[in-house]
Copies of this chain bind each other. A is one copy, B any other.
């Protein structure tokens, strides 16, 4: 195969010029650029982009850490990330962790070893203090309130506020036994939600109803089974993921439990299926969040921490 020297000779230009054309350097005359490209075309010269990245010190790749790619929340985040990746001529490596620490470490090591230029961490199990030091190797953006933190950037929703708003809304509608369903117990977002719930219960004492480890549609059945079997029952449920809310809705239909007569239901996200099911929900702009995460990691956004707002969409389940 022809090398860079052969091409320079054939095009009648210097090796430096060929190198500049390959690296899309601006200081090359249009005439020389065309001559080089023509020869490259003639000899079918393939640029090794890994070599080009190396010479530029950039991989043009961003790492994206998600616990599960198949979950609709992360699917929509990836949708937003992909949108901005295309617009900015970048690609991204998707790192699915299943909340295993070793896989999160792998992503951080990729940043350290310059395989990626920056890292978006959509959710994590490692402590933020363990993640922070890697910021020195490239921009890290997380999807939670990291305002108190000077090291990593963040795009987030104020879960304490939105949970408080949702609980107040249900209380004003007359519900007095409020419960909530969430994914995992750990993590910053879960922490703020639980604190909002506890602070609310201090002011409005009632039995505590917390259902954890709910991620998917089918988990709705599990929640309704638990409620059916227990003596104390909530009269309203906040559900941190719309797909789980849709699962609860379907499980209630199957068991002839009336919504909102027997139990009221409020979701989060505003996933399309909640519209058809008539589920009241707090809309989180997930795709926008994905887009903003990408713009942050590229350094296009100035402020390090960005809060997105949440909107109540009232339908028929409260």
Contacts and interface: CB of A to CB of B under 8 A. Distances in A.
Contacts of A246: 273
Contact of A50 (B85, B115, B218, B276): B115
Nearest to A48: B114
A288 interface: no
Interface string A68-108: 11111001101100100110000111111000000100000
Contacts of A221: 276
Copies in the complex: 2
A272 interface: yes
26 contacts: A46-B113, A48-B54, A48-B113, A50-B53, A53-B115, A54-B54, A61-B93, A68-B79, A69-B75, A69-B82, A70-B75, A70-B78, A72-B75, A82-B94, A82-B96, A86-B96, A86-B103, A91-B110, A91-B115, A92-B93, A217-B273, A218-B272, A221-B276, A247-B273, A247-B276, A250-B273
A93 B64 CA distance: 10
A142 interface: no
A1 interface: no
A72 B78 CA distance: 13
A227 interface: no
A221 B274 CA distance: 13
A17 B209 CA distance: 61
A50 B49 contact: no
Q: Determine chain A's interface SS by DSSP, over half rule.
A: helix
A113 B47 contact: yes
In this complex, the member of A49, A69, A251 whose beta carbon has the largest number of chain B beta carbons within 10 angstroms is A69
A118 interface: no
B277 A250 contact: yes
Interface of A: 46-51, 53-54, 59, 61, 64, 68-72, 75-76, 78-79, 82, 85-86, 91-96, 103, 110, 112-115, 137, 216-218, 220-221, 246-247, 250-251, 253-254, 272-273, 275-277
A293 to B, nearest CB: 14
Given A50-B59, A75-B70, A112-B46, A251 B272 contact: no
A188 B115 CA distance: 36
A242 B78 CA distance: 22
Nearest to A250: B276
A249 B291 CA distance: 33
A49 B113 contact: yes
Contacts of A114: 46, 48-50
A46 B136 CA distance: 12
A157 to B, nearest CB: 19
A112 B115 CA distance: 19
A94 to B, nearest CB: 4
